[in-house]
Amino acid sequence: MAKANPRLIEAIEKTVAKLSNGVAYQWGHMGACNCGNLAQELTHFSKAEIHQYAMQKHGDWNEQILDYCPNSGYPIDLMISKMLDFGLSLDDLANLERLSDKEILSRIASDKRDKINKNSREDVILYMETWAKILREKWLSEHESELYILPEKKLQLSVLL
């Protein structure tokens, strides 16, 4: 699972908000799919730019992740590197594209989990909301002692509550 941190949590939540408000979503489009929408938020590239970069190599997000080489010079690999800098792993990206992370799925009600569809906007929103919640809980748990040691950070931490 991704390294829990406020920047990543915020990016996932902003992606959820955009998806909820009707931003372009198309699972078969590299810039408007599950990973593509998060990539827009993390890299500030447009869906068209992300799609254009991805088309310089072969395959969908899963194939791009398998072929990822940080030193290739391909724009998609540089973009993936930028996403990894936010605390994501290649597994996180692969799981996001397929909505398949077991920890995240275990937190979704079984009646919804059993019907989750990787190319459903509503399911992507549910998956990402759950993911952000898990990351928030982990981050707060890891930084709980700072609330007592550094009271001035309490205001910053309250944003994550």
> How many domains does one find in the chain?
1
pLDDT of 117 reads 86
Angle, in degrees to the nearest 10, between helices 34-43 and 121-149: 40
Going by the DSSP 8-state scheme, the letter that residue 12 receives in this structure is H
The reply to whether 69 falls in a domain is: yes
For residue 42, the tally of other CB atoms under 10 A from its CB is: 22
The reply to whether 26 falls in a domain is: yes
Q: What are phi and psi of 8, to 5 degrees?
A: -70, -45
Query: What's the pTM value of the predicted model, to 2 decimals?
Result: 0.86
Amino acid sitting at position 30: M
The reply to whether 1 falls in a domain is: no
Report how far residue 1's alpha carbon sits from residue 25's, in angstroms, rounded to the nearest whole number: 24
pLDDT of 147 reads 55
The reply to whether 47 falls in a domain is: yes
Report how far residue 89's alpha carbon sits from residue 6's, in angstroms, rounded to the nearest whole number: 16
Q: Which residues of 52-81 are buried (b: 16+ CB within 10 A; e: fewer)?
A: ebbeebeeebeebbeebeeeeebbbbebbe
pLDDT of 146 reads 60
Low-confidence stretches of the chain (pLDDT < 50) are 154-155, 157-158
Q: What is the residue range of 91's domain?
A: 6-158
The reply to whether 127 falls in a domain is: yes
The reply to whether 57 falls in a domain is: yes
pLDDT of 155 reads 47
Report how far residue 121's alpha carbon sits from residue 27's, in angstroms, rounded to the nearest whole number: 9
The reply to whether 64 falls in a domain is: yes
